[in-house]
Structure 1
């Protein structure tokens, strides 16, 4: 039997390389910012506004995701992708040359907007440029492109900051981003727009802005809870919940909250697994330091192990031929549930720390399977002129849920920091809650399968 061509066959080679480069650079920038931020805010005298660059990036990223879906469905991925790269590059230049904190924050907002626009365009490019049988491998490129930055990002960003200055972490990416965009131009010239007219003006960017503001308000409310400021906590939490509900009702497909079969269920499941994973991941190093007395390097190694597991899971799902994708999603969610339950057990008194390392490989493997699989399920159930909108909903669910998950973890850490001995119990509760969420999602994974009678993509 003749072997099918891969994503790096001559026909798709430049497209695959361009996608890998673009996503890797987006991911590297996100990881590098956390490394250089202390030095940058100190130079810009902006310590009081330390959280703003992260919050503005999140909000504008959601705006970009909301705007790109309808834009891509109307005219195809070419202009949204080029616009995203241009805006992201402008953000790098602004951040790298900023003389005051306000300009740096604006640069971070531009970077978030650019990443949002480009991410949806890349997703649609996968739908239009690759045949259906190669889509899992193409999405595996996107998923695996996050691994290398996770492995080397902090080290490279730290070295550049130490030897050349933090500004070159941003400015040094500019030629690389432009080069990655050039490799995608041949594919962008050849792909045809989806075709079907998309009537009316979209309200999604506005509601994405509302959703992002809701996430930020909830995070601020959580910080107020941890600080014992009851009135601000209640007001911020209430405002955040109202904004979040108002925004997501427009941004997510109808029935997502009820796990309606098909794309709505896939979008909801993606949010559940992102919320659980990033909540636990954000506290793993702190837990190892606080409860087990490990050093900085040893406590960060599980994240390295998880990145390698993620890469392996993405490659595994990409090499399976014609699998039942909903069943594959269930397996990935089950792996995540087992990982989180095991991590919770390591927070109990007398339990050693070493199981966290293999457990986090299992968790990374589960994410590597689940994230591309949800993408394939969305593409396979979307008409050509729906891929942008459905990809937008999928990414918005992911980003919003990740922000909420890390916010919940931060509230637990802050609340238990004041009580000292309660920290371990709080981390056990967080791990078990994340495991329960993934277990429930695994039960509902069958609803991610296509609606009977509806034609899938060809």
Structure 2
């Protein structure tokens, strides 16, 4: 990109600054909430007497977020971005207020579900807002700012939340995110006319359902979506320039602009996807409730859980590339690997603060600093893979294998550190290794999913990847919750050791599936075969 174009992309019109500020606030709000709640939740669970059900506070939100994601697409296609973004912000704020005021763990879970539903709506609509408000050459710069808006809260959100929970009250951890939601809503309200119509950028305008492909378990996926085309880390300006120089940078936009697509067929497909996603989300919620209750005998709840598992087994494969659950070579293994890495990493992130406070005697602030080491490792891994000279699919598959290996090693180290009564800094080192692996693997997979799918199916392939993110997280945390709930009462460290073993096993499975991300044709040096979804 030449200097003049770079300057034009960097300087936004005054009328777009309110939208940019709103997007930055929304991203910061969601990023801070993710890290802050993970840090403060041990204090919350102890006060509300819910250590055995601790993981539900995370998995319930992710399940609701999945529901918000699949509902946001058709809703925005029909009504535009304003209704879902305002409802999403309102739900996010209401859920946060309810969590902060919760007198019991059940009310807290209700608040988490409402918060997750709102977050799911917001992360989808953000992409439609960007497409309607900014020229293609400006979008990479906006994505780079959103990436920074994720990174800073991920580094300082944990310590800040720990300080609030220790010095004041854990309830403030939820309440402090309400104000940014209200301010962002006011800023978007000022620019409602711009958002109400596609405007001058409608030629490359994605449908919201296609934009849902770029949504995620968290705002970090904003960075992945911005840089996936260039195989670079979220902090690489050169990659952002390359993305801007592409005819259509966003894979969702690329799909929507394909003239071969029938809009009516697309809408039908999006509605079908939304229905299947809602089934998966609802069924996952029932399974988590059954895990939480763990009734001693066959009951209505256990029967419902069995039916829910059957529903997930039927619906989930229809939302993912054929062969995903058997790790077929190429795109299916990319999607499966992403799910395994997410489940392993975020499961550990959920339970590490609890272990540090319960077993090591740390306060919430110190536990937040340990989590920050993992976030720093993730950022370093994303940065490193962006500067790797490995350009072929087979070589970049090696980066994913390395990332999954580091993830498994980090959590396996937790087992020895927990049993050996190791000092706290060793846990920080181990979580940094796991974060480094996650950064290497996750961001590389964002690029591979586009290389291994046809241009006109980039949107669907990215949607499958983001669905895998959420499903993997829900499965990882739900499994950890079940294991911890069963084992934590039988010994001082046993519950945590079982959790670390299970999460390390997920990482090890990720090594196996990562090795199959490169198809046989790409390994032989021929043209890459594109797999249709």
Which category of TM-score, normalised to the shorter sequence, fits these structures?
0.7 to 0.9
Q: Which runs of 5+ in 1 are unaligned?
A: 44-48
Return the alpha-carbon distance in structure 1 between the equivalents of residues 368 and 94 of structure 2: 31
Larger CA deviation: 182-191 vs 202-211: 182-191
* Distance across 2 between alignment mates of 1:318 and 1:328: 11
Work out the CA distance in 2 between the residues paired with 1:434 and 1:51.
17
1:63 and 2:55 aligned: no
Q: Identify the residue that residue 366 of structure 1 maps to in structure 2.
A: 437
The residue aligned with 1:231 is 298
Residue 138 of structure 1 and its aligned partner are, at CA, apart by 8.0
Query: 1:444 — aligned with what?
Result: 516
Which residue is equivalent to 1:176? 183
Task: Give the aligned partner of residue 79 of structure 1.
Answer: 80
Q: Give the drift of 1:280.
A: 2.3
Question: Is the Cα contact below 8 Å between 2:452 and 2:528 reproduced in 1?
Answer: no
The 2-side partners of 1:87 and 1:281 are apart by: 29
Counterpart selection for 1:429 from 495, 501, 522: 501
Structure 2 residue 76 is the aligned partner of structure 1 residue 9: no
Instruction: Tell me the equivalent position of 2:382.
Output: 314
Aligned residues of 1:326 and 1:449 also touching (Cα < 8 A): no
Determine if contact 2:356/2:367 at 8 Å carries over to the other structure: yes
Structure 1 residue corresponding to 2:476, chosen from 405, 413, 425: 405
1:303: Cα distance to partner?
0.9
Note if 1:26 corresponds to 2:30: yes
Could you tell me how far apart the structure 2 residues matched to 1:83 and 1:321 are?
44
- Out of 406, 411, 414, the residue aligned to residue 335 of structure 1 is 406
Q: Give yes or no for contact 1:64–1:113 (8 Å, CA) kept in 2.
A: yes
Following superposition, the deviation at residue 412 of structure 1 comes to 1.8
Find out whether 1:390 has 2:461 as its counterpart. yes
Give me the whole-angstrom Cα distance separating, in 2, the residues matched to 1:330 and 1:143: 25
The alignment partner of 1:452 has SS state of coil
Hey, what's the Cα distance between the residues in 2 that align with 1:333 and 1:393? Answer: 20
Kindly state the Cα deviation for residue 306 of structure 1 after the two structures are TM-superposed.
0.6
1:172 Cα deviation (Å)? 0.9
Correspondence 1:222 to 2:282: no
2:355 to 270, 274, 287: 287
Q: What is the aligned partner in structure 2 of residue 211 from structure 1?
A: 280
| TM-score of the aligned structures, taking structure 1 as reference length | 0.75
Q: Secondary structure at the match of 1:283?
A: helix
Q: What is the CA deviation profile of residues 194-245 of structure 1, one whole-angstrom value per residue up to 9, with x for unaligned ones?
A: 23321525222232222122322332333344xx724358535423421321
Gapped regions of structure 2 (runs ≥ 5): 206-255
Q: In structure 1, how many angstroms separate the alpha carbons of the residues matched to 2:374 and 2:481?
A: 21
Alpha-carbon distance in 2 for matches of 1:149, 1:176: 21
Contact kept in structure 2, 1:91 and 1:110, CA below 8 Å: yes
More displaced stretch, 22-31 vs 12-21 = 12-21
